[in-house]
Structure formats: C-alpha cells, structure tokens
A and B are shown apart, each in its own frame.
Chain A
Amino acid sequence: MFSQFETWYRDRHEYARKWKDRTGGKVFGCFCSYVPEEILVAANILPVRVLGSHEPQDVTEQHLFGMFCPFCRDVLAQGLKGRYEYLDGITLAQACIHLRQAYRAWEENVEHPFSYYLPHPMHVASPHAVPYLKEELKNFRKAVEEHTGVTLTDEDLDRGIRILNENRAAMHDLYELRKGPAPKVSGLEAMWVTVSSTWIDKEEHTAEIRRVLAEIDGRDKDFGEGTRLMFVGSENDDTDFLGMVEMVGATVVVDDHCTGTRYFWNQTPEMDDRIEAIAKRYVERPACPAKDHVVRTRFPHILKLAQEYDVAGVILIQQKFCDPHETDMVPLRSFLEENGFPCLFLEFDVTVPMGQFRIRVEAFLEMLMEEDLF
C-alpha cells in the first residue's frame, strides 16, 4: 500500500532527474525545513530537501571541523560526491551553525547556477519576527524571479501556497489515522511518506496520499498491538532504526522531527499580502530548538502531541554534537517525565550501533509495560 513512498524514499535522485526531464523545470536543494517552498513552487521549481546517506565517508574532514554534527557532514558529503549534481540551485534558510557550514562548504566546492542564504529570524516568539522575515522573503522572491526570469504574480503565489497547503492537509489526514487505538499506518510507513514529501513534487505526493487514504479503510491489518511511542529529535530519516523499534514491539504514532510533523504541521494562512502570510506560516510553525526563543513554544507543543496521540513513552533522538537539541534535551526530558511521559535518550551518529540500541529499546519497552501492570 505504501510501496510508492518507499520507492520514492529510496530513489530520490532518480526521481528528481526524471522530473527535470519530464517537466523541463528547475530543481533546488533546500538545506533546512525553513526554506519557504511556496515561493519556489510558485516559480515552478521543485524544492528537494538535502539529506545524508548514512554511509561513512572520507571527503568532509578538510572542509568541516569534526566537532560539528554528523548530519551536516553527511549532507556535505553528498554534495562533494556529486550525488546532487542535477541541482540548479541551493538555498539555506538560516539554520543552526552546523548546517550553515555544510551549505557554505558545499557552495564553495560544488557549482550550481543559483545559491541563496536566506536570513531567518531565530526568535520565533518575538513580535518582530514576522515583519522582519517578510522583508527577507521579499528579497528572496526577487532573487528567484531574477534567476528564473519570471515575475511572480499573486496567482502564482496562491498556487504555491495551495499546493503546499494541500499536501500538509493530506499529511494531517494520514496522521489522524495514527491517533486511534488501532493505527492503520505504521511508523515506518509514515516515515516513508513524510520524508519523501520533502523532495517529491507536492501535487504528485498529495495525490498518492489521497489514493492510500481512500483505500486504507479496507486494509486488514493494523498496528494496535505495539506500545505507542513518540520520536523527538532533529532531522530523522533513519528507517532502519525505526524499523527495528517497531519490530521489537512498538508502534511509533507521532514525532517531532523537521522531516516529520515540524515540516508540515501548520498551513499558510489566507491573507492579502501573500508574502506576509508565508512569513507568518514559517514563524508560527512548530519551532526548531535553534529558533525557540526567548519564551519556549516547543515544549508545550510536544506535550500536546504526546497527549493527543496517547503515547506511552518518548524516544529522544540526539544527533551527536547537535548543540540546539543538546541544549533542549535536559529540560525537555524532565518536562515530559513530569508530565507522565517516560523517555529513552539515544545518541545518533551517521550509522547507529543497532545491536546496542535494540537492547535499550527493548528494556525501555519492558519498563513501559510494567508501568501498565501496576
């Protein structure tokens, strides 16, 4: 039922190349989930999120000091190895300083016709964030227009907004299926869907979700047996790990990842000023810890998800060396535990020691079961 998403997940490069051939359009690599894709889609550009490949590599050490996170090094390796040679442009919406370096080192070493560093407010709780981002988005829009030679009209922007919003709505409908006691969708399947949505043509992707949703009622299997878990962390596209967790008796029903709910959770509102609407959407989306200032908006949001999806426990996934998450983990953990959600903390690298993690996950699940008993 979800095989199309799995194929998309695996063959991301082939898909993008074919999309280019088929449509004659341009493809832009996005280095952070804060890139305003509405504007790219309005310009008929295919935005693809740049992720790593989970393989050891030997090409980044001379460009990126080893104290920075494995994810940003894995991302850079993809560029240096030429895996994304088909990109017509790259853009980073100001992310943590780790990912910024992957972007800058990539830009320095790999040629693409377009490269744009989009400054982005880091204090999304501030009343000044939206007006500021609006101005930055105007600049970005202008740069995209200059590059493509097309002036974007309000209709174009409306189309971009609509296409993104439809995909977000479809993802929400899919996530709804995970709320009940017998989810019709496994966590692994959901990960194929959400991660692939970051690089597949959104209209095509939405249509495929809608097709699955139309059929899913007739599905004869569900995942109600498993202990309900939530994943929280930065980027996570590690299907091997998630697959293992579900194999040993859990069902992952919700997440707070920038390749998951943080990416699609909220809609771009309808406003006369389209650019302001887009700015508002990105400022108000569930925050990345790097941008969750000064008041914390992230913790209550995560708690709400945990409650709504009725999870028994949370796996906190920490990319080694990721400072923004590391600075949230300690208070987040006590916050969740105080609210009745036990946590398992795991530190991730490009590859993970599966055997060891398996033992820890199993022990965690046992612990959760015992809590059920008493």
Chain B
Amino acid sequence: MAKHKTEALKCWNKAKELREKYYKDYASAHDRGGIRWTGGAWSFDAIPYGLGDDVYPLTGEPYAASIAFNKEFSMKCLEATEAKGWARDLCSYMRNYWGSMYLNKFLFGGPYPKPDFGFQDHICCSHSKWYQVVSEHEKFPYFSIDLSVGPYKDIQGNPHKVRYIVEQMHESIEFMEKVTGREYDDEKLIEAVKTDCRSTSTWAKICELNKNRPAPLEEKSMYSLYVFGTLSKAKKEFADFYDELYDEVKDRVDRGVAAIEDERCRLMSDTQPPWGFLKLFRYLETFGALSIGSLYTFGLIGNWETKPDGSFCARTTPMELGVSIDSRDKALEVLADWTLSRPEWQHFYDPSLKTEMMLQIAKQWHVDGIMLHLNRGCEGLSTGIMQNRNGLAKSGIPIMTYEGNMGDEREFDMNRTMARIESFMETLDLQPLEKA
C-alpha cells in the first residue's frame, strides 16, 4: 500500500528543453554574431554577460558529465585523451572534455565548437590546467582567476582577500574587451550579478524544502535540476526557471506530494555520482530509501549560510539586504564576496568546515544514514573526504563508502556497489520492500 502520493515534476520537460537549448545556442552562437566562451561551472559567468546579450558559455563539468552519461561516446573520449599520453587518474571530467576536443566531436552534434576565449577560475589544481591545455590546443586566448584566499570565515577583517579577486576580475574585463573588440557594459554586469545571487539562493531555497517529510525531491532528480547553476548562474532564463521550480516544489510540500511512495529511510550522499550508473538511486528505492541530497547538490552552486538560530538556509541576497550595486567595482566586489561563501569551496582549505555543514544537513534534513562516494574522478571534491567520514562517524550516524568514478566507468563496479549497499541497508535494518 502506498503511503504517500507521488507525481512527476511538471517542469521536467521544460528543464530538458532549456538544457538542450543551452548547448544548441552555444554551438550556433557564431551564426548570429554572438560570442562563445568556455570555462568551468564555477567561473564567474556574470562577468562575460557585460559583453552583451548574445554571450554563450560552455562549462566543462556539466558538459563532461553529459558525455559520461553516454557510455559509448565517453569511452571514445577517454581513449582519445589517453592516446595523447595523459594519465588515467586525472580528473575524469577534464579527460572527457579533452577527448571531445581531440576527436573534434561535440556531444550534441557537429564538431567541437571552438570558443572565442576561455574564462576560468581556480580553486582545484585541475581548474586552470584544464583550459591551459584546451587554449593551447585550440589556440584561443585564456584568462583565469585565482581564488587562493582561504575559507570564507577568514574574509572578515582581511579586505585584501576580496580585493585580490576583484583586481583580477577588473583585469579579466580588460582582457575580454581586448579579445572580443567589444565595449563592456557595466549595467549588464550589475544585472548579471543580481541574477547570479538570485539563482544561487533560490536553488538553496528549493533544497531547503527537502527538510520536509516526506521529501518532495530525491537526489537523482535534483541532479537534472541543479545543473542550470553549473551551466550559467547569471542567466536570467535559468534564474526564472528556479523561481518557477521553487513554486512547484513548495506546492508539492503543501499537498504532501512525495518523491517516493514509501519513504522509510533518508540518506545523504556526497560528491558527484558515477553518472553512467544513476540506477543506483533506483536501487535504494527498493528498500524505501532515498537520498535527500548532499552538500554537493545543495552547495556546489547554491549559496547558504547558518542563521542565528542555527538553521542552515539560503544565504540572504545583497538585494534583500538593500546593498546598492551601482558601479563596476561594487558589482565585482559583491560577486566575489557572494561567491566566496559557496559551501563547496570551503573544504579546499579545511575539511572540518565541510564536516560541520554536512552535520547540519544530516540533522536538519533528518538523515538516517550517509553514503559517501569516494570519487576517483574528482580530486577536488574528494579532498578531505576521509576526514569528513571520520568527523561524521563521530556523530553516530551510520556511514558507508563506495569507490567509483563520476566519469570513467572502468573505475566503477556496479554489482559490488549494489552488494555493499545491501549490507548497508541491513545495518540500517531495512529489508527490500516486497518482502517487508
């Protein structure tokens, strides 16, 4: 007997269309005289929007995740990269992306669409190298912003840290003007910064709704939704979509619509999943278990803060605080400060900061068990993960780990992982549903 009613998400198709359009728009931008640039999911994508309304990014991580989802093409890409001599243990997103470039094949049809410039930022060691290699191969100009200022908690009292980033941002604008020959529009920048703050806080608000029981969303669907933030945080279309999505999920909560029929156990995960094997999450459902999310899906793009009452919530936007953003410098400063508090950036300096946030999620989202993906494909998000594990274990919540790779299926063993999940379900006293 079904305990909760479930419904498909109404905006699911729209999400699919928006995503397809993003890649098509990028590929065809030059036909319309527009600008194409490539960089990371964490690039300050608000900045290029100051060049005009016809600016289209191609962000590497979600593009590579889409490749990984297509196992056959992914294998070709990985092999093309290996054939050039690159090590197999490098970031698997980077290897998939490079492979697509070496093969000169765009996953969404046609040849690899060469960008007009590269624009990246640098917190993971692979970030800047990734496009250093791409820009050398494809011969385009490249700019990257170094973020090595330490965790957000150290920003206060150290204005030089934000300034370091802002100075580089100013330089990046000069760079873009030079390589595109366009004049930069500060009004457009200001709008884009506001949009970035709006979309990243709205995404956090959507995730907050998963504090409810039953959870209105499970993580597998969240992967298809958080992706817009990784494609472009400062794109108005996407921010509007998140507003719409928020209303729908809120409505689900009000009407008691659940992600899965029989919610018996709430899990939390961490790091990118093995993209080619998302059926792992369906397997959890056969035990009445679902993943309510992770610091990864919540805080890769979403922006959060701990409120005075201890609750972990969407960060209040500069607009809500009445900050006036009236100049290029101010816009850049707001953008730098806003972004530096991103949850998934803190462990690059100190894993205990991540453990703290994960414990907050575990508590406030009523988590019964934790599944950590020891992801060989991403050195960045695996940084400190064993220390996270130990910190979480101290709280007494059952934890399991499994090894894999988000983008290289040769490093993931589905059957053994399922066996491990089954053992974990036993420790949580969960039986397969048809038996129970």
A and B touch in the complex (CB under 8 A): yes
A295 to chain B, nearest CB (A): 9
Tell me, yes or no, whether B18 is within 8 Å of chain A by CB: no
B84 at the interface (CB under 8 A from A): yes
- Are A333's CB and B133's CB within 8 A? no
B379 within 8 A of A: yes
Given contacts A323-B91, A326-B89, contact A67 B376 (CB under 8 A): yes
Question: Is there contact, CB below 8 Å, between B379 and A128?
Answer: no
- CB A28 to nearest CB in B, in angstroms, measures 19
Q: Are A108 and B352 in contact (CB under 8 A)?
A: yes
Interface flags for B126-153 (1: CB within 8 Å of A; 0: not) read: 1011101100100000111010111000
The answer to whether the Cβ of A100 comes within 8 Å of any Cβ in the partner chain is yes
In the complex, chain A residues 115-132 whose Cβ is within 8 Å of any chain B Cβ: 117, 119-123, 126-129, 131-132
Cβ-based interface call for B87 (8 A): yes
Stretch from B180-188, B335-343, B382-390, B412-420 that touches the partner: B382-390
Tell me if B350 and A139 are in contact (CB < 8 A): no
Bound Cα distance from A322 to B386, whole angstroms: 18
Instruction: Name the residue of chain B whose CB is nearest to the CB of A139.
Output: B158
Interface hits, A91-107 → B, CB 8 Å: 94, 96-98, 100-101, 104-105
Q: Give A331 to B84 CA distance when docked, in angstroms.
A: 10
List residues 15-45 of chain A with CB under 8 A from any CB of chain B.
Answer: none
Proximity string of chain B (42-81) to chain A, C-beta cutoff 8 Å, 1 when within and 0 when not: 0000000000000000000000000000000000000000
C-alpha gap A262/B85 in the complex (Å): 26
A294 touches B143 (CB 8 A): yes
CB<8 Å pairs between A and B, sample of 26: A67-B89, A97-B124, A97-B125, A97-B383, A100-B383, A105-B386, A108-B387, A119-B149, A121-B148, A122-B146, A123-B146, A128-B164, A128-B167, A136-B160, A293-B122, A293-B128, A293-B146, A294-B143, A294-B144, A323-B125, A324-B129, A326-B86, A326-B89, A327-B90, A327-B129, A330-B86
User: Are B374's CB and A65's CB within 8 A?
Assistant: yes
> Across the interface, which residues of B come within 8 angstroms of A127, CB to CB?
171
**A265 close to B (CB within 8 Å):** no
Residue A68 interfacial (CB < 8 Å):
yes
Residues 368-403 of chain B, each 1 if its beta carbon lies under 8 Å from chain A, else 0:
000000101001101111110010000000000000
B175 closest partner in A (C-beta): A294
Which range holds the interface residue count of chain B? 35 or more
- A321–B128 CB distance below 8 A: no
Q: How far is the CA of A227 from the CA of B73 in the complex (A)?
A: 46
B349 at interface (Cβ–Cβ under 8 A)?
yes
Contacts of B316 in A (CB 8 A): none
Quick check: B132 and A68 within 8 Å, CB to CB?
no
Pick the most buried of B86, B91, B128, B351: most chain A CB atoms within 10 A of its CB.
B128
Pairwise interchain contact A65-B385, C-beta atoms closer than 8 A? yes
Interface membership of A64, Cβ < 8 A: yes
Q: Are B164 and A326 in contact (CB under 8 A)?
A: no
A327 to B86, CA, bound (A): 8
How does the 8 Å CB contact mask read for A121-153 relative to B, with 1 for contact and 0 for none? 111001111011001100100000000000000
